[in-house]
């Protein structure tokens, strides 16, 4: 028996919502978990690379693989040991680009394995395990449930979350450069401590951002995408971000520009059309920097993970 799950990409933080805000995007990984027919076959991991996904050679194909680690935690939770299994990952989400590729395969592996086991774990358990393996809930929550999600890890390891409708006319232009940025490097440049004033700044911006989305207030949203916790430090690692942000911030139809997750992908939120011009402006900026990039204007993915 085998189960396949399609899981969307995600973009996290949206400026001030560090490690707690995330959006699902209509770009997908497909994860299949299969019980091995022959006893003693052990663990087998296969990766099918999409032609647009870039380098996947760094993905482990042994017990260090994060999909296997998540599945092992699930089996332990239900009091079982992992049997001989085969994991197949069909990649459609670029790796190490700030688009939740790791979160997607963790979530997909857990849902597939849970289905094989007869669904002993509910969504709360799966989300908690996924967050533990990923390290934070901002990507795994929208990867599992879709849409625009707010999430928080509680003291007991459980994850509280809320899903708020995203305005239908707010489009997402995602700029995916052709170079990688390891999340560990992107986190290493962040300060170990922040001031109370910077923390308060982000709390205020994040609170207003959530209200702006809920009330579909684009003018308020434009004021809410700045932060003082991660983007000022990470922008030095991301070619073109400062120039792009300066170029688009005063455009009438553009709501804002943020780093997608830990980067290096960049997200532009806009409304009222003009998407071709936005993409052309982006191309011109990155061509001047001699950086190749993939540019996609997308709607939000509302469904989340789906067994196929």
pTM of the complete model: 0.93
Domains of the chain are 2-165+302-307 (3.30.230.10), 171-298 (3.30.70.890)
CA nearest to 8, candidates 25, 22, 21, 20: 25
Tens of pLDDT, residue by residue, the chain (308 residues): 899 999 999 999 999 999 999 999 999 999 999 987 676 678 888 898 765 555 555 677 778 899 999 999 999 999 998 888 999 999 999 988 999 999 999 999 999 999 999 999 999 999 999 999 999 999 999 999 999 999 999 999 999 999 999 999 999 999 999 888 888 898 999 999 999 999 999 999 999 999 999 999 999 999 999 999 999 999 999 988 998 988 887 788 899 999 999 999 999 999 988 888 889 889 999 999 899 999 999 999 999 999 99
Q: Judge contact between 32 and 71, C-beta under 8 A.
A: no
């Amino acid at each position: 028996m085998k189960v396949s799950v399609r899981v969307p990409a995600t973009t996290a933080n949206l400026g001030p919502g560090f490690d707690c805000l995330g959006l699902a995007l209509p770009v997908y990984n497909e994860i299949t978990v299969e019980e091995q027919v022959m006893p003693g076959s052990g663990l087998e991991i296969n990766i099918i690379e999409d032609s647009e996904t870039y380098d996947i050679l760094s993905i482990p194909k042994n017990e260090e693989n994060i999909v296997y680690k998540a599945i092992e935690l699930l089996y332990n939770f239900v009091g079982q040991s992992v049997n001989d299994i085969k994991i197949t990952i069909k990649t459609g989400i670029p790796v190490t680009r700030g688009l939740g590729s790791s979160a997607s395969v963790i979530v997909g592996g857990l849902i597939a394995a849970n289905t094989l086991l007869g669904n002993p774990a509910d969504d709360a358990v799966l989300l908690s395990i996924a967050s533990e393996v990923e390290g934070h809930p901002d990507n795994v929550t929208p990867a599992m449930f879709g849409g625009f999600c707010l999430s928080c890890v509680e003291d007991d390891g459980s994850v509280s979350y809320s899903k708020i409708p995203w305005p239908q006319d707010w489009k997402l232009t995602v700029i995916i450069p052709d170079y990688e940025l390891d999340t560990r490097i992107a986190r290493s440049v962040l300060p170990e401590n922040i001031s109370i004033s910077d923390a308060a700044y982000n709390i205020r911006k994040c609170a207003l951002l959530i209200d702006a989305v809920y009330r579909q207030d684009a003018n308020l949203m434009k004021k809410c995408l700045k932060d003082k916790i991660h983007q000022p430090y990470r922008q030095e690692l991301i070619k073109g971000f400062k120039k792009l942000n300066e170029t688009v911030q005063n455009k009438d139809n553009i709501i804002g520009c943020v780093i997608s997750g830990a980067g290096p992908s960049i997200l532009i939120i806009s409304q009222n059309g003009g998407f071709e011009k936005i993409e052309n402006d982006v191309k011109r900026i990155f061509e001047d920097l001699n950086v190749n990039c993939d540019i996609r204007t997308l709607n939000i993915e509302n469904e989340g993970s789906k067994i196929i």
